[in-house]
Amino acid sequence: MNHRFREQSDNQHTLRPSRTPPGLSTKIMALIGKVALVTGAGQGLGKGFSDILLKNGAKVALLDINENIGENTRADFGKGYGEDRVCFFTCDVASVEQLEDAFQKTIERFGRINIMSNNAGILNETNWEKMVAVNLNAVIRGTYLALQHMKKDTGGEGGVIVNTASLAGLGFLLTVPVYTATKHGVVGFTRAVAGASEESGYGVRINALCPGLVKTALLDSTSERHGQFAHLSHLSKEVVKKCGILEVPVVAEGFLQLVMDEGKNGAVMKITHEDAFQKTIERFGRIHIMSNNAGIMDETNWEKMVAINLNAVIQGTYLALQHMKKDTGGEGGVIVNIASMAGLAPFLIFPVYAAAKHAVVGFSRSVADASMMSGYGVRINTLCPTAVSTPLLGAVADEKKNGPFSHLFNLIGDTAKLRKIEVPAVAEGFLQLVTDEDKNGAVMVVKEEGCSYVDFPKEFMLDLKAHIP
Ligand SMILES: NC(=O)C1=CN([C@@H]2O[C@H](COP(=O)(O)OP(=O)(O)OC[C@H]3O[C@@H](n4cnc5c(N)ncnc54)[C@H](O)[C@@H]3O)[C@@H](O)[C@H]2O)C=CC1
Ligand SMILES: CC/C=C\CC(=O)/C=C/C=C\C=C\C=C\[C@@H](O)[C@@H](O)C/C=C\CCC(=O)O
């Protein structure tokens, strides 16, 4: 599934044209030694943003109102990235004193601040005054504090501020009108202050991030926090259906772009994953065949690998099913999920890659049966190629992508001599899975000898009826 990072351009409302044409990256900000302050960093998106900053060499001050989760996150990061690169301060961003105090403590600890992420946010339509204080006022205060410290005209080093808004800052959600207002406020404020900073020669870029729904604690029991429009909660399900739910690492990649791309100021980045699907339908009218093929191999960055190799395959399958299934007017179709031989056999050095691919096989077989039993008219098959001659295999020879078992790297020997098959051979197998109307829940292996179907032993079949008395 193709996640979309898109800069929102709306010239009518742009205060002044940006000096850098949109989409053009000029210079990339190096993060090694840079100091970042992230609010709401104990869990969810803030934790994901802190993680990716640390991974790229920055030092990070984590701020959170919740001392327990903040301390735990600090301890995890300290172990992983070094105790000297991370600290935690308990801070309610809605309190002027606490935010100023945490800001000062960060400067005392690390000497400066180059990156500010105003990310803490809540969803509570009942206590909406508090929500405005956290989601909007604290973002404004955090931006002004950071500007004051970073701006070059008074001796600062310049820097970048990223404010977490939401897709609800560009569109609207009926169940959460005040939340929607705060996020529109963040987008409007960010664009205006970015223009003002540029015009004033401050050397500080300010961008806004607008993700769709993200799998974090903020989404738990939202209906209780919908306030007077709780009776419209069922409409949110439509939004989930339309937008799907993003994973934190995907949003963190977008955040990193806004931090590092020196060409971005006043940028508003939308992150959704329904765009590609919707656009295909707009262009061609319908979809009959879906191939969930995107994948990476990186044991070091395994959370991201699971997000792409497994979660996005599940998301892509569900989106395609939703569109194709016959019981709600779809035309039926076929989905082919690309797993690997590592989805059927252990793969030393790449255990998480193997886990994700095993899961793709299990998921595809299960959902294939479910689709058939539901009369959806959608077949779902899995392709498991052995090593194929593509750049993905570069990870095998790249110790940085080998994770905790890189010491076994020598066992593999010369990867250039690894026996590989060619792309057209795999494409032939793929075509069979698409065109053969008798194949549903099929798992095809493609090796040097050719294509064959896996015949799973009967004793490994789960007979649900046998389990129900
Ligand atoms: N989860 C979602 O679907 C989306 C979330 N967002 C935004 O992303 C931001 C982060 O939210 P998530 O990570 O999803 O939520 P989360 O609930 O998982 O994490 C939020 C963190 O902020 C902390 N926090 C709450 N109030 C605070 C305060 N007054 N001072 C300091 N820390 C405070 C919490 O303790 C928590 O650790 C929010 O601004 C939210 O509006 C935007 C789009 C979608
Ligand atoms: C309930 C979740 C609240 C907040 C988390 C968050 O910030 C995520 C927002 C994600 C998506 C926003 C989508 C907005 C879409 C709109 O532009 C329209 O397409 C939606 C139209 C009707 C929505 C019905 C409803 O309001 O529930």
In the reported structure, the alpha carbon of residue 213 is separated from the centroid of ligand 2 by a whole-number distance in angstroms of 8
Pair 214, 173: CB distance under 8 Å: no
What mean pLDDT is predicted for residues 410-435? 84
Pair 279, 326: CB distance under 8 Å: no
| Nearest CA among 99, 211, 226, 213 for reference residue 165 | 211
Model's pTM, two decimal places? 0.69
Question: Among 23-27, 403-407, 420-424, which is the least confidently predicted range?
Answer: 23-27
Sign of CA pseudo-dihedral 339, 340, 345, 350: negative
The total number of residues shown for the chain amounts to 469
Under 8 Å CB-to-CB from 353, ≥6 apart: which residues? 297, 299, 305, 309, 340, 342, 347
What mean pLDDT is predicted for residues 118-125? 96
The CB of 171 under 6 Å from ligand 2? The reply is: yes
pLDDT of res. 275: 66
Q: What letter represents residue 38's amino acid? A: V
**Would you call 179 a catalytic residue per the annotation?**
yes
Q: Which atom of ligand 1 is nearest to the CA of 214?
A: 3
Pair 180, 247: CB distance under 8 Å: no
What mean pLDDT is predicted for residues 301-326? 92
Taking the C-alpha atoms of residue 15 and residue 18, their distance in angstroms, rounded to an integer, is 9
Beta strands in 273-403 (DSSP E): 289-292, 333-338, 378-385
pLDDT of res. 230: 85
pLDDT of res. 342: 94
Each residue's pLDDT tens digit, 375-399? 999 999 999 999 898 888 777 777 7
pLDDT band for position 20 (cuts 50, 70, 90): very low
pLDDT of res. 207: 98
Beta strands in 173-331 (DSSP E): 204-211, 268-272, 289-292
From the candidates 179, 202, 353, 376, give the one annotated as an active-site residue. 179
What mean pLDDT is predicted for residues 112-123? 98
User: In angstroms, how far is the first alpha carbon of the chain from the final one?
Assistant: 41
In the reported structure, the alpha carbon of residue 239 is separated from the centroid of ligand 2 by a whole-number distance in angstroms of 6
Q: Check whether 363 has a pLDDT greater than 60.
A: yes
- Enumerate the H helices of 200-311 as residue ranges: 233-243, 248-260, 275-284, 302-306
Q: What percent of the chain has pLDDT over 90?
A: 69
| Nearest CA among 307, 317, 206, 311 for reference residue 253 | 307
In the reported structure, the alpha carbon of residue 41 is separated from the centroid of ligand 1 by a whole-number distance in angstroms of 8
Q: Check whether 335 has a pLDDT greater than 70.
A: yes
Taking the C-alpha atoms of residue 77 and residue 429, their distance in angstroms, rounded to an integer, is 44
User: Which range in 75-79, 169-173, 223-227, 349-353 is most confidently predicted, on average pLDDT?
Assistant: 75-79
pLDDT band for position 270 (cuts 50, 70, 90): very high
| 8-state DSSP, 458 | G
ipTM of the complex: 0.93
Neighbour order of strands in the sheet with 289-292:
289-292, 333-338, 378-385, 443-447, 450-453
Q: Check whether 178 has a pLDDT greater than 90.
A: yes
pLDDT band for position 274 (cuts 50, 70, 90): low
What mean pLDDT is predicted for residues 183-191? 98
Q: How many CB atoms lie within 10 A of CB 438?
A: 6
Note the ligand closest to the C-alpha atom of 210: 1
Q: Check whether 18 has a pLDDT greater than 60.
A: no
| 8-state DSSP, 308 | I
Q: Considering the chain, what is the average pLDDT of its residues?
A: 89
Note the ligand closest to the C-alpha atom of 121: 1
Hey, which residues does 379 pair with through a beta bridge? Answer: 334
Mutate which of 173, 186, 234 for ligand 2 pocket (most atoms within 8 A of beta carbon): 173
> Tokens 């009776």 belong to which residue?
231
Each residue's pLDDT tens digit, 142-151? 999 999 999 9
